[in-house]
Amino acid sequence: MTAVTFDAGRITPAARPAGAITAATTVAARSVRRFVRTPQLLVISTITGAMFLLIFRYVFGGAIETGPVQYVTFMVPGYIVTSVLFTGSNASSSVAQDLEEGFTDRLRSLPVSRTAVLAGRVVAESALLALGLTATLAIGFAVGFRPQGTGVEAIAAFGLVLTFGFAFMWLFVSVGLVAGNVQAAQGMSLLIFPLSFVSSAMVPVESMPGWLQPIAENQPITVMTNAVRSLALGDPALAGLSGTTAHYVTLSLVWAAGLVAVFAPLAVARFRKV
Amino acid sequence: MSTPIVEAKGLTRSFGKVQALSGLDLAAESGQVVAVLGPNGAGKTTFVRSVATLVRPDGGELRVAGIDALRRPEQVRRVIGLAGQYAAVEPAMTGRENVVMVARLYGQTRRQARANAAVVLDQLGLTEAADRPVSTYSGGMRRRLDLGASLVGAPRLLLLDEPTTGLDPRSRNELWDAIRSMVRAGTDVLLTTQYLDEADQLAQRVVIVDKGRVIADGTPGELKSRAGRDVVEIRVHRPEDLTVVAESVGRIGVEAPRVDAGTHRVTIPVAGGRAVIAEAIRALDALAVEVDDIGLRRPTLDEVFLTLTGSPIDAGEPESTDPSTESTTEPGEHFAQAA
Separation in Å, CA A256 to CA A168, A218, B312: 8, 14, 57
Contact A224/A164 with Cβ under 8 angstroms? Answer: yes
What is the predicted pLDDT for the residue at B339?
32
Closest alpha carbon within chain A to B84: A102
Task: Say how many C-beta atoms besides its own lie within 10 A of residue A57's C-beta.
Answer: 20
Instruction: Summarize pLDDT for A120-158 with one digit per residue, the tens.
Output: 999 999 999 999 999 999 999 999 999 998 999 999 999
- Which 9-38 residues of chain A touch chain B by CB within 8 A? 9-18, 22-23, 26-27, 29-30, 33-34, 37-38
Separation in Å, CA A78 to CA A140, A149, A228, B308: 11, 16, 8, 67
Q: With an 8 Å Cβ cutoff, are B125 and A106 in contact?
A: no
Residue B268's H or E segment, with its range, is strand B265-270
Percent of chain B with pLDDT over 70: 90
Task: Say how many C-beta atoms besides its own lie within 10 A of residue A42's C-beta.
Answer: 15
User: Which residue, among A1, A2, A5, A6, would best test binding to B if mutated, counting the most B CBs under 10 Å from its CB?
Assistant: A6
| B183 Cα to chain A: minimum distance (Å) | 8
Band (pLDDT 50/70/90 cuts) for residue B228 is low
Band (pLDDT 50/70/90 cuts) for residue B132 is very high
Collect all residues of chain B within an 8 Å Cβ-Cβ radius of residue A271.
Answer: none
Helix extents (H) in B28-168: 44-51, 73-76, 95-105, 110-123, 139-151
What is the predicted pLDDT for the residue at A170?
97
Q: Is A145 exposed, middle or buried (0-12, 13-18, 19+ CB in 10 A)?
A: buried
Instruction: Summarize pLDDT for B9-47 with one digit per residue, the tens.
Output: 999 999 988 999 999 999 999 888 999 988 888 899 999
What is the predicted pLDDT for the residue at B314?
56
Task: Say how many C-beta atoms besides its own lie within 10 A of residue B159's C-beta.
Answer: 26
Q: What is the DSSP letter of A58?
A: I
Task: Say how many C-beta atoms besides its own lie within 10 A of residue B132's C-beta.
Answer: 14
What is the predicted pLDDT for the residue at A4?
60
Q: What is the ipTM of this complex?
A: 0.89
User: Which residues are CB-neighbours of A129 under 8 A, at least 6 positions away?
Assistant: A84, A87, A88, A91, A165, A169
Contact A72/A155 with Cβ under 8 angstroms? Answer: no
Closest alpha carbon within chain B to A94: B90
| A170 Cα to chain B: minimum distance (Å) | 22
Instruction: Summarize pLDDT for B32-89 with one digit per residue, the tens.
Output: 899 998 888 889 999 999 999 999 999 999 999 999 999 999 999 999 999 977 789 9
Q: What is the DSSP letter of B163?
A: T
Residue A46: which of A58, A57, A35 has the closest Cα? Answer: A35
Q: Chain B within 8 Å of A151 (Cβ-Cβ)?
A: no
Closest alpha carbon within chain B to A98: B88
Beta strand pairing status for B188-193 and B33-37?
A: parallel
Q: With an 8 Å Cβ cutoff, are A102 and B152 in contact?
A: no
What is the predicted pLDDT for the residue at B247?
85
What are phi and psi for residue B232, nearest 5 degrees?
-95, 130
Task: Measure CA of the first residue to CA of the last residue in chain A; give whole Å.
Answer: 39
Residue B68's H or E segment, with its range, is strand B67-68
Closest alpha carbon within chain B to A16: B107
Q: Which residue has the higher pLDDT, B224 or B202?
A: B202
Query: How far is it, in rounded angstroms, from Cα A221 to Cα B145?
Result: 44
Q: Which residue has the higher pLDDT, A132 or B227?
A: A132
In this prediction, residues B243-249 reach a mean pLDDT of 85
Collect all residues of chain B within an 8 Å Cβ-Cβ radius of residue A6.
Answer: 120, 123-124, 151, 178, 181-182, 185, 187
Band (pLDDT 50/70/90 cuts) for residue B222 is confident
- The minimal CB distance from A11 to the residues B119, B174, B177 is found for B119
User: Which residues are CB-neighbours of B48 under 8 A, at least 6 positions away?
Assistant: B36, B159, B161, B190, B192
Query: How far is it, in rounded angstroms, from Cα B181 to Cα A4?
Result: 7
Q: Is B103 exposed, middle or buried (0-12, 13-18, 19+ CB in 10 A)?
A: buried
| A85 Cα to chain B: minimum distance (Å) | 25
Collect all residues of chain B within an 8 Å Cβ-Cβ radius of residue A105.
Answer: 49, 52, 54, 82, 84, 88
What is the predicted pLDDT for the residue at B255?
80
Band (pLDDT 50/70/90 cuts) for residue B312 is low
Which pLDDT tens digits describe chain A residue by residue (274 residues)? 445 666 777 888 888 889 999 999 999 999 999 999 988 877 888 888 889 999 999 999 888 988 888 999 999 999 999 999 998 999 999 999 999 988 999 999 999 999 999 999 999 999 999 999 999 999 999 999 999 989 999 999 999 999 999 999 999 999 999 998 999 999 998 999 999 999 999 999 989 999 999 999 999 999 999 999 999 999 888 888 889 999 999 999 999 999 999 999 999 999 988 5
